[in-house]
Amino acid sequence: MIHKLDIKTNSQVELQEITDRVRDIVAASKIKNGICHIFVPHTTAGILVNEHADPSVVEDIAAQLDKMVPQKKNYRHLEGNSPAHIKASIIGDSRTLFIEGGKLALGTWQGVFFCEFDGPRNRSVMVKLTED
């Protein structure tokens, strides 16, 4: 079964934490040990696992991506959102996490983030769980 998370973003670039929403899906599944696949079906968005204790970390990541891939440049894509496509390609569209003892096996400081690079938009994240 695939679970769908609806995401609403409010700015062009936004890293929104979704850890608790994914944890809720895992808890409701009653799966003790398995795999949690998280996928973003959008070409201008991604999924990141990184520190969630200090919000300045994801702010730094977004700022550095903006430096690496500036909004204004001589991009050829006519739609005008080439930077969003490039940033999404760098971050990636999926993550695979382990489920151990009925919980996501994340490190103490790790969280799951939906990464918007072409917002604001209404988006979705797909979560599929498999049991060992």
Predicted local confidence at residue 20, as pLDDT:
98
**pLDDT confidence bin for 10, thresholds 50/70/90:** very high
pTM summary value: 0.95
| Of 14-28, 70-84, 114-128, the least confident | 70-84
Predicted local confidence at residue 1, as pLDDT:
82
**How much is the mean pLDDT over the chain?**
96
State what percent of residues in the chain have pLDDT above 90: 92
Q: Which CATH number fits domain 2-131: 3.40.50.300, 2.60.120.460, 3.30.70.20, 3.40.50.2300?
A: 2.60.120.460
Predicted local confidence at residue 56, as pLDDT:
95
Straight-line distance from the first to the last Cα atom of the chain, in angstroms, rounded to the nearest whole number: 15
Please write the tens of the pLDDT for every residue from 39-69.
Answer: 999 999 999 999 999 999 999 999 999 999 9
Alpha carbon distance 69, 81 (integer Å): 11
- The average pLDDT across 69-88 equals 90
- Taking the CA atoms of residue 106, residue 60, residue 42 and residue 27 in that order, the dihedral angle to the nearest 10 degrees is 20
